Amino acid sequence: MKLKIEEKPFLSEGRHTVTVTEVEEGKSENKEIPFINCRLENEDGFVNQRFYLSEPGQPILASFLKALGIDKTEVDSKELKGKTLSVEVEERSYEDAEGKGKTIKQATHFEPVGKANTSDRF
């Protein structure tokens, strides 16, 4: 059987310089909280990162925008596409609304390109 792979792998854990290649808007499955999902990509792979547009999500989104060089209180999500930043990719485990354990890859520790070139992990 021939296998045709048309997708990049997930980025490995650690520090990566990535570009925002896609931005999608949506609402969370259970609580209907609005979010944007950004695909953060480089030549090695990608990671998807959701930013919830809720009060607890504001500081996370603010640090992401700051790393992108955006210093405005209001921004159109379309402006994010094509921007580059440095992220730490890690795995996170959590329990979903049905009590099932899930593990995802996520981007954290957002920094402008060139500010952080190595992993924050020991």
pLDDT at 63: 96
Residues 82 and 19: beta-carbon distance below 8 Å: yes
pLDDT at 85: 98
pLDDT at 122: 45
pLDDT at 117: 57
Residues 26 and 77: beta-carbon distance below 8 Å: no
pLDDT at 118: 58
pLDDT at 7: 87
pLDDT tens across the length of the chain (122 residues): 888 888 899 999 999 999 999 999 999 988 899 999 999 999 999 999 999 999 999 999 999 999 999 998 899 999 999 999 999 999 999 888 788 999 999 999 999 998 765 555 54
